[in-house]
DNA sequence: TAAAATTTATGATCAAGGACAAAAAAAATT
DNA sequence: AATTTTTTTTGTCCTTGATCATAAATTTTA
């Protein structure tokens, strides 16, 4: 079965009618390695399901060393500059494929239609927003409670696969330190 | 009209039937100044609408100087240890009334019933979760992009009313610094 | 309103992580 | 495989904010 159907079936029971309607709105896109597919100041018009690949969410800076990474998404997850998507205001973030990546996207307008016309749209939308809230909430706790070293150790423990795949310079800014500082943290462990 | 009805009417159009059902689930509670009405490790069983008063969300520590404040809520807003509420796991946070406070609460079980039985429940739930996500997302951006001084100035600009009402020792940990550090920040401005 | 308790401010010292520079290592390209 | 480019590490110095101690100001309580 389709990966995205498998994913959504875990969240809720979707009627064939609703599924067909939703599925008809999806568009498949292939993004080349390192390509930025949402640029800063653009309005995010999509929520995308990653069929394969890895995507990074980040805020660019004049000096590329000072970019800040806010998240990494892997296959079988949804990705979006969700705040820009929700508010339909220019995005502070960029989205970049770290490997060749295939996504299935739905537009803002089409998703609003799904919310209006399907039985299940708002339920899935609520559960998705709740899940994303929980992620941000955990992250806020980490940033305010833990030192950089503790944040690294926690990441190492909870998402070791991430450290295998993602360059350290991205990990460092995700943790909230410079690449140099992360290098020193790793040395003293 | 009821404050809470006015608030929800701004979000969506609610049928009388749905409203009556929801309203029948609400319980009013009055909380004394400084009282903690959700303790750490308790499972948050309520979402509450503040009719009057001010509520603080915080993580307590052995040394009370090291408590961390995560947010302040005022009248006509909903408040909850939302992550504990959503996951129904023990809360890392406490909720404290900073002034005498009156709230209208709905329990977890009753809200699930509202989600199932009303037309509008999941829509309001989705929009609420989305709004809370946006707040956390902004906060994550602030914490990673700005210095303590910049965070204070931003708060001063965006929520000046908050600085009138909330003791600085709570503001400081909300910004992510000690009370001493905030005092020095204020001096040099 | 006087006393006590709490909050805010100030001083001195310390530690974590930033900034800048450069070398070493690893990965990508020719 | 050799060269170029990118990533990671290491060195030195500096800044921000933490920590500990105490004083001043403000608020609460008796």
**What DSSP state is assigned to residue A96?**
E
Nearest to B133 among A132, A143, A145 (CB): A132
User: How far does B161 lie from chain A, in Å, by closest CA?
Assistant: 23
Q: What six digits make up the tokens of A89? A: 């205001």
The CATH number fitting domain B3-118, selected from 2.60.120.10, 3.30.360.10, 2.60.40.680, 3.40.50.10800: 2.60.120.10
Our CA dihedral for A170, A40, A55, A144, rounded to 10 degrees, sits at 50
Maximal CA-CA distance, chain A: 57
Kindly state the DSSP code that residue B182 receives in the 8-state scheme: H
The answer to whether B67 and B58 are in contact (CB under 8 A) is: yes
Sheet holding A55-59, edge to edge: A36-38, A94-97, A55-59, A68-73
Write the pLDDT tens digit of every residue in B72-102.
999 999 999 999 999 999 999 999 999 999 9
Instruction: Pick the residue of B11, B136, B143 with the most A CBs within 10 A to test the interface with A by mutation.
Output: B136
Distance of CA A120 to CAs A65, A116, A125, B24, B86, Å?
43, 10, 9, 25, 19
Q: Please answer whether residues B136 and A137 qualify as being in contact, where contact means their C-beta atoms are separated by less than 8 angstroms.
A: yes
Q: Which nucleotide is nearest to A147 (CA to C1')?
A: C16
pLDDT tens, residue by residue, B141-184: 999 999 999 999 999 999 999 999 999 999 999 999 999 999 99
For residue A100, what are its two tokens? 């060749």
What pTM was computed for the model? 0.96
Residues in A whose CB is inside 8 Å of some CB of B read 59, 68, 70, 82-83, 86-87, 92, 115, 122-123, 125-126, 129-130, 132-134, 136-141, 143-145, 173, 176
Tens digit of pLDDT at every position of chain A (189 positions):
699 999 999 999 999 999 999 999 999 999 999 999 999 999 999 999 999 999 999 999 989 999 999 999 999 999 999 999 999 999 999 999 999 999 999 999 999 999 999 999 999 999 999 999 999 999 999 999 999 999 999 999 999 999 999 999 999 999 999 999 999 999 998
**Cross-chain Cβ contact A137/B136 below 8 Å:** yes
CATH architecture, domain defined by A3-108: Sandwich (2.60)
H helices within chain B, ranges in order? 3-11, 16-24, 82-87, 108-117, 121-145, 148-158, 160-165, 168-175, 179-187
Taking the C1' atom of every nucleotide in all shown strands and the CA of B175, the nearest one is: D17
pLDDT of the residue at A189: 87
Provide the pLDDT confidence category of residue B129 given band limits of 50, 70 and 90.
very high
Q: Which of residues 127-186 of B touch strand C (CB under 7 A)?
A: 167-169, 179-180, 182-184, 186
Distance A167 CA to D5 C1' (A): 15
Q: Can you give the residue ranges of every domain in chain B?
A: 3-118
């Amino acid at each position: 079965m389709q990966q995205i159907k498998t994913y959504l079936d875990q969240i809720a029971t979707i009627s064939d009618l609703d599924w067909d309607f939703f599925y008809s709105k999806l568009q498949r896109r292939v993004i080349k390695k390192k390509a930025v597919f949402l640029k800063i100041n653009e309005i995010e018009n999509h929520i995308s399901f990653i069929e394969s690949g890895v995507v990074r969410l980040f805020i660019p800076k004049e000096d590329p060393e000072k970019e800040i990474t806010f998240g990494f998404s892997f296959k079988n997850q949804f990705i979006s500059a969700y705040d820009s998507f929700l508010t339909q205001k220019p995005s502070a973030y960029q989205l970049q494929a770290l490997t060749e990546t295939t996504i299935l996207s739905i537009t803002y307008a089409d998703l609003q239609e799904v919310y209006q016309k399907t039985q299940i749209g708002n339920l899935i939308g609520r559960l998705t927003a709740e899940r994303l809230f929980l992620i941000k909430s955990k992250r806020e706790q980490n940033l305010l409670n833990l030192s950089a070293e503790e944040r690294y150790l926690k990441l190492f423990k909870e998402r070791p696969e991430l450290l295998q795949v993602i360059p350290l310079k991205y990990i460092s800014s995700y943790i909230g330190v410079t690449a140099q500082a992360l290098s020193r943290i790793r040395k003293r462990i």
